[in-house]
Amino acid sequence: MGLLAEIQNDALSDTVPVATLLRKVMVLAANLDSALLEDWVRHELHGYDADVEVPAYRKFVMNFKVSGANARWQLTGQPVPQVLVNQIVNDDTFHFFECRQPIGTISPDEIKASKGKLSINLDNYVLLMQGKLFEPSFNISRFWGEVSASQVMGIIDAVRSRVLDFVLKLKRTYPDAGEIDGLTTKTPEVNQAVTQIYNTTIHGDNAGPVGNNSGATINVTVNAGSIKDLRSVLAKEGVEEADLIELEAAVSSEPAIGQDKKFGPKVTVWLGKMVSKAGSGAWAVSLGAAGALLEKALLGYYGYN
């Protein structure tokens, strides 16, 4: 059996560990003299360094949660809007989690035992969040991000699928290349063909992070200072009248925001409440979409369309 046939069979078999599959792909990369393919395999086997771009299938949207208390109330696992966290850390991409660990350390058994969610400890940001997510008297004890366990598990399937696509397209391009003899990227024609196959299979689906797509285009129109527009847009998205009345009071007492586009404390508390509703299912909008929708509508109200 030729090397391409072995790789194809292993990619189709869920019983063959993906690390074993990749080691065979490493041999293929060496036979082809393909630095592109070899680098990708090395990163998957050994992990992605901080200065290396992570493929889209390893990027996920995090939902943020906090626990804490003050003299009057206590919160455990309270969702907080991605937009507010991003503003506080001054990073619009902070809610994107990049999974850089070696693929062999992704344990299906541990993922199955995680009850659907995997946590990313962000306690080193607690002091930065203090007094900015809630009123100053509220003491934040824990801060973390969550991603779907199925998304992390999907890395393994993504790698298998990419390897299979690469091998199949290579076989179609070179039907007699089962043993790879004489096939090398040192030949300009082969180098161009293998590079094209690599770019369309291994990194061909690199559109963006996986998960609740808070980065998606949210088409809402709210004219500056128009409470009528703000109410109308949010009502159409299922925001209840009591919440709209509360928001109207909040924006009336905080009629403007600065160039940093940071919302005032009353609007921030309202945002946290609404995201919590989305997380609990009381508001029928996904967590990621909730944050993006509310941010877009409120920025329009404050004159930042």
178 and 276: one domain?
no
**Whether residue 247 sits in one domain with residue 146:** no
Same domain, 177 and 239: no
Q: Tens digits of per-residue pLDDT, 77-102?
A: 988 888 889 989 999 889 989 999 99
Higher pLDDT, 45 or 265: 45
Quick one: 95 and 201 in the same domain?
Answer: yes
- Count CB neighbours of 33 within 10 A: 16
What average pLDDT score do residues 56-81 get?
A: 90
For residue 66, give the nearest of 141, 124, 121 by alpha carbon: 141
* Selection from 157, 158, 171 nearest residue 203 by Cα: 158
In a domain, 253, yes or no: yes
DSSP labels for 241-272? Answer: HHHHHHHHHHHHHS----TT-PPPHHHHHHHH
pLDDT at 61: 86
Identify whether 220 is part of a domain: no
Residue 189 and residue 51 share a domain: yes
In this predicted structure, the answer to whether residue 126 has a pLDDT above a threshold of 90 is yes
Based on the domain organization, do 237 and 183 belong to the same domain?
Answer: no
Domain final residue, candidates 142, 177, 210: 210
Strand-pairing partners, residue 63, are: 146
219 in a structural domain: no
Q: Do residues 166 and 285 both lie within one domain? A: no
d(CA 119, CA 242): 33
The 8 Å CB, 24+ separation contacts for 169-178 are 169/197, 169/200, 169/201, 170/4, 170/194, 170/197, 171/4, 171/8, 173/197, 177/4, 178/2, 178/3, 178/4, 178/5
- Alpha-carbon span 192 to 173, nearest angstrom: 12
| Domain coverage including residue 34 | 1-210
Domain count, the chain: 2
Does one domain contain both 112 and 7?
Answer: yes
pLDDT of residue 298: 92
